């Protein structure tokens, strides 16, 4: 399940960049199609992340690791929200600087917790 979670995140970030590129090029229809596929990947990411959180980390709850796993889950949801808002605001032609900052902060937090702090990493 961990590999499925990581793969879906990588594909989600790639789809984010593709949809962003299509929106910037003025191809709204293509961007919308990729955006809908990305939303499907959001569901896969949330399902696999929830499985990892509840079945692996919270089943053997220990104070620092369990809280860090919950924090990573919340940061992951924050990252998904920031990704979605970047695409929606870009499609509408509104400023997205604040959402890009949030996306970068959430991504750094997720990567640090996922690959440095929590034990289930590669």
| CB neighbour list of residue 1: distance below 8 Å, 6 or more residues apart | 48, 51, 52, 55
Across 81-96, b (16+ Cβ under 10 Å) vs e yields ebbbbbbebbbeeeeb
Q: 19 pLDDT exceeds 60?
A: yes
Q: Which of 38-42, 57-61, 106-110 has the lowest mean pLDDT?
A: 57-61
Residue 119: per-residue pLDDT: 75
Residue 121: per-residue pLDDT: 62
Q: Write the pLDDT tens digit of every residue in 53-100.
A: 888 777 776 677 788 888 999 999 999 999 999 999 999 999 999 999
Give the number of residues written for the chain.
Answer: 122
């Amino acid at each position: 399940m961990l590999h499925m979670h990581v793969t879906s995140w990588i594909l989600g970030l790639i789809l984010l960049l593709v949809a962003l590129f299509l929106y910037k090029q003025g191809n709204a229809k293509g961007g919308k199609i990729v955006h809908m596929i990305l939303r499907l990947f959001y569901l896969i990411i949330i399902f696999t992340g929830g499985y990892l959180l509840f079945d692996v980390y919270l089943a053997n709850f220990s104070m620092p690791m369990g809280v860090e796993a919950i924090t990573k889950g919340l940061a992951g949801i924050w990252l998904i929200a920031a990704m979605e808002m970047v695409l929606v605001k870009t499609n509408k032609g509104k400023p997205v600087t604040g959402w890009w900052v949030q996306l970068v902060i959430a991504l750094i937090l997720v990567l640090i917790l996922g690959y440095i702090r929590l034990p289930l990493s590669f």
